[in-house]
């Protein structure tokens, strides 16, 4: 079952994540083969990034908003004299890290997960295991097919239906109205397929179903395609 990304998107959550990783890496780093010098460097870089995200950037944005309000008041406002806004000062900020902190961090996490000493307990402590992402019920999920006859071929449209992380392929069957019923056509791993076999003579191009779900059948005796998803292999 695939997992969601372990690194959060909201910046306040990123600050918490970075601080936890920086605090726990000295404890777990030696067990997963991270050299002492690299541990120290990583902690310094994550401290820098967490400070920028959680303190510096917020303060600078607030200063910018106040500066804009002051500018507008001075230009077109009314009332008493307006004083310059007080800008934020940053006493003793951590050293600025070199660009690419997250790139180096994610590469390090990948190495940690491949280390012989890595365990799920370490991953959970460092918060580098994303939450389990539930997939669709493979016994009931069905693709929606569209079919359009063009010349001597039938263009079959299909997609993952929002489940691309859990599905691997679409098995397509075809009933060519030749008395054989639905028979295997292909297992397609890339959305959309072109059936190049000649359609039956009595099939009319306008009668091909535009939206034919798996197992659905049109009401007229024409060539028809049906499909079903298969998956569970993607990680």
Contact 174, 193 (CB under 8 A): no
User: What is the residue extent of each domain of the chain?
Assistant: 11-126, 144-231
Q: Where are the beta strands (DSSP E) in the chain?
A: 144-150, 153-157, 167-175, 183-188, 193-195, 212-213, 224-231
Which helix (H) or strand (E) segment holds residue 15: the answer is helix 11-28
Overall pTM surpassing 0.75 (yes/no): no
Tens of pLDDT, residue by residue, the chain (235 residues):
445 589 999 999 999 999 999 999 999 999 999 999 999 999 999 999 999 999 999 999 999 999 999 999 899 988 887 789 999 999 999 999 999 999 999 999 999 999 999 999 999 999 999 877 666 776 777 788 888 887 778 888 888 877 776 777 888 888 877 788 888 888 888 888 888 886 654 443 323 333 333 333 333 333 455 656 555 433 3
Return the percent helix, strand and coil in the chain, to nearest 5.
35, 20, 45
pLDDT given for residue 119 in this prediction: 96
The CATH number given to 144-231 is 2.60.40
């Amino acid at each position: 079952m695939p997992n969601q990304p372990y690194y959060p998107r909201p910046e306040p959550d990123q600050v918490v994540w970075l601080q936890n990783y920086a605090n726990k890496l000295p404890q777990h780093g030696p067990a997963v083969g991270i050299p002492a010098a690299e541990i120290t460097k990583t902690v310094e870089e994550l401290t820098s990034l967490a400070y920028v995200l959680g303190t510096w950037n917020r303060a600078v944005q607030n200063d910018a908003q106040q500066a804009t309000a002051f500018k507008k008041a001075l230009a077109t406002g009314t009332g008493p004299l307006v004083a310059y806004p007080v800008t934020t000062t940053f006493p003793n900020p951590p050293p600025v890290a070199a660009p690419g902190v997250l790139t180096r961090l994610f590469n390090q996490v990948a190495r940690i997960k491949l280390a012989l000493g890595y365990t799920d307990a370490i991953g959970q402590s460092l918060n580098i295991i994303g939450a389990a992402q539930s997939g669709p019920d493979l016994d009931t999920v069905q693709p929606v097919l569209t079919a359009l006859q063009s010349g001597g071929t039938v263009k079959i449209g299909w997609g993952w239906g929002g489940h691309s992380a859990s599905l691997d392929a679409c098995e397509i069957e075809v009933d060519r109205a030749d008395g054989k019923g639905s028979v295997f056509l292909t297992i397609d791993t890339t959305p959309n397929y072109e059936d190049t076999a000649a359609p039956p003579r009595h099939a009319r191009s306008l009668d091909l179903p535009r939206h034919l779900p798996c197992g659905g059948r049109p009401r007229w005796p024409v060539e028809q395609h049906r499909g079903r998803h298969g998956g569970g292999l993607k990680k």
